[in-house]
């Protein structure tokens, strides 16, 4: 992680590229067609449709359109992710900065930016969001994305790891691209931004869960994501912002980096671990029965009256039908630096979807005692862009 008071430069860019060659850095990006139920992600009540055939590995993903790439496209997603959070300097105009970053994204994806150092871009995607402070300066406190996250229990967050003005999410099939693309974007931003923190992460191979869906396992050994807003109708209802016009086509992202107490969880018996999640470890089926892709039957009981899905199971406490919220597009990524854990990212068009869920989990979710959150932020993911509409032009034009 770059020190908080450092600033990007061409020397830093070249240094980062050299470090990649020396260390063989690896990271990971979650598939958007699966919806993990990690420590801060709820279980969805209904499975989506069969996912479409995957494009060829490394196929180019267009960076332009109504929505930014890296949220629902590509499908399935690339296996590597780097999230970078930064601040924008006082007096810096966000509009020109974002427009430049958008042009740089297009050049990186096209492979025409010399700062790629000859690496083929393949399926590289870059997704950019702005934090509450910048949103408020552009549209006031009522605009989606203008509100930060409240504080929750089980947090140990340093001041520089909470909040931020700018999110750059980079995903790719080739892990070598992540820090190289990040260095190019920071080089383009120059002294106008200062990095707060970054996190690279990874996930395992997708596991079939039925209904044409796949999902990865998390470091706790459980299949981490089975259901979510897969259909276009669900995404229009719960994922994409419909308005006002300046943000239409965007969404809201929440980032939570968590350490996991792996030894303590591993000391539980398998039935005890399954009671924490509310699902079978081997195949992901709900403890209430049925296939993995189905939602749990929260009313099912044993003959002696006990719930098959325990009252404090994650699948129950985080269920949107129980919480009374919409669906999140949830992603979780395995990390091992600075500590073994997860980087959790959710996308939703109402921040309450996340905050109400975690508030409900905070009271008695059996999974939370195995987690400690060490970084937290929320961002307005800007609408898509193209030649006529630069990145961020609707909000900062």
pLDDT score for 208? 86
**CA angle (284, 353, 257) in 5-degree steps:** 65
Output the CA torsion sign for 98, 100, 101, 107. Answer: positive
End-to-end C-alpha distance for the chain, whole angstroms:
32
Tell whether the torsion through CA atoms of 42, 291, 75 and 242 is positive or negative.
negative
Alpha-carbon span 295 to 301, nearest angstrom: 15
* Contact present, 325 and 72 (Cβ < 8 Å): no
Region class of 207: left (phi > 0), else alpha (psi between -120 and 50), else beta: beta
Give the residue ranges of DSSP H helices in the chain: 10-23, 94-110, 132-139, 177-189, 232-238, 262-266, 270-277, 314-317, 320-323, 351-364, 393-396
Query: In this structure, what token pair is assigned to residue 27?
Result: 């990271």
Q: Is 93 exposed, middle or buried (0-12, 13-18, 19+ CB in 10 A)?
A: exposed
Q: Look at residue 267 in the predicted model and tell me its pLDDT.
A: 98
Q: What is the predicted pLDDT for the residue at 227?
A: 63
**Secondary structure E strands in the chain:** 80-88, 125-130, 166-172, 193-202, 207-210, 213-215, 251-260, 329-335, 341-348, 371-381
pLDDT at 85: 98
pLDDT per residue, tens digit, the chain (397 aa), is 444 444 444 434 444 444 333 333 333 343 334 333 333 333 333 333 333 333 445 799 999 999 999 999 998 778 899 999 999 999 999 999 999 999 999 999 999 999 999 999 999 999 999 999 999 999 899 999 999 999 999 999 999 999 999 999 999 999 999 999 999 999 999 999 999 999 999 987 788 887 777 888 888 999 887 767 878 999 999 999 999 999 999 999 999 999 999 999 999 999 999 999 999 999 999 999 998 888 899 999 999 999 999 999 999 999 999 999 999 998 889 999 888 999 999 999 999 999 999 999 998 999 999 999 999 999 999 999 999 999 999 999 8
pLDDT at position 295 is 84
Backbone φ and ψ of 371, nearest 5° = -125, 150
Q: Are 149 and 355 in contact (CB under 8 A)?
A: yes
pLDDT of residue 28: 33
- How many whole angstroms separate alpha carbon 379 and alpha carbon 186? 18
Per-residue model confidence (pLDDT) at position 207: 85
């Amino acid at each position: 992680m770059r020190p908080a008071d450092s600033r990007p430069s061409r020397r830093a860019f070249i240094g980062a590229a050299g470090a990649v060659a020396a260390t063989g850095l690896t990271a990971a990006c979650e598939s958007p067609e699966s919806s993990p139920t990690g420590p801060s992600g709820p279980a969805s009540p209904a499975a989506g449709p069969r996912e479409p055939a995957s494009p060829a590995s490394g196929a180019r993903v267009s960076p332009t359109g109504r929505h930014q790439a890296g949220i629902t496209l590509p499908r399935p997603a690339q296996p590597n992710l780097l999230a970078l959070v930064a601040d924008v300097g006082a007096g810096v105009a966000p509009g020109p900065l974002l427009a430049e970053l958008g042009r740089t994204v297009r050049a990186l994806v096209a492979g025409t930016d010399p700062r790629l150092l000859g690496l083929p871009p393949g399926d590289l995607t870059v997704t950019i969001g702005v934090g509450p402070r910048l949103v408020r300066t552009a549209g006031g406190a009522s605009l989606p994305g203008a509100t930060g996250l409240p504080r929750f229990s089980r947090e140990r967050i340093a001041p520089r790891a909470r909040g931020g003005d700018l999110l750059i999410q980079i995903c790719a099939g080739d892990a070598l691209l992540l820090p190289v693309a990040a260095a190019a974007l920071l080089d383009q931003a120059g002294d106008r931004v200062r990095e707060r923190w970054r996190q690279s992460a990874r996930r395992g191979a997708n596991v079939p869960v039925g209904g044409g869906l796949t999902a990865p396992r998390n470091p706790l050994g459980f299949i981490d994501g089975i259901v979510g807003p897969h259909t276009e109708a669900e995404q229009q209802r719960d994922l994409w912002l419909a308005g006002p016009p300046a943000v239409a086509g965007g969404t809201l992202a929440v980032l939570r980096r968590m350490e996991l107490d792996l030894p303590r969880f591993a000391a539980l018996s398998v039935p005890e671990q399954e009671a924490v999640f509310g699902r079978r470890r081997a195949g992901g089926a709900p403890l209430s029965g049925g296939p993995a892709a189905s939602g749990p039957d929260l009313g099912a009981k044993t003959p002696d009256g006990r719930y098959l899905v325990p009252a404090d199971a994650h699948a129950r406490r985080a269920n949107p039908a129980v919480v009374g919220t919409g669906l999140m597009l949830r992603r979780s990524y395995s990390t091992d630096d600075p500590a073994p854990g997860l980087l959790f990212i959710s996308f939703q068009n109402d921040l309450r979807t996340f905050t109400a869920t975690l508030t409900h989990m905070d009271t008695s979710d059996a999974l939370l005692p195995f987690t400690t959150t060490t970084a937290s932020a929320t961002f307005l993911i800007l609408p898509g862009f193209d030649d006529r509409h630069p990145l961020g032009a609707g909000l900062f034009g």
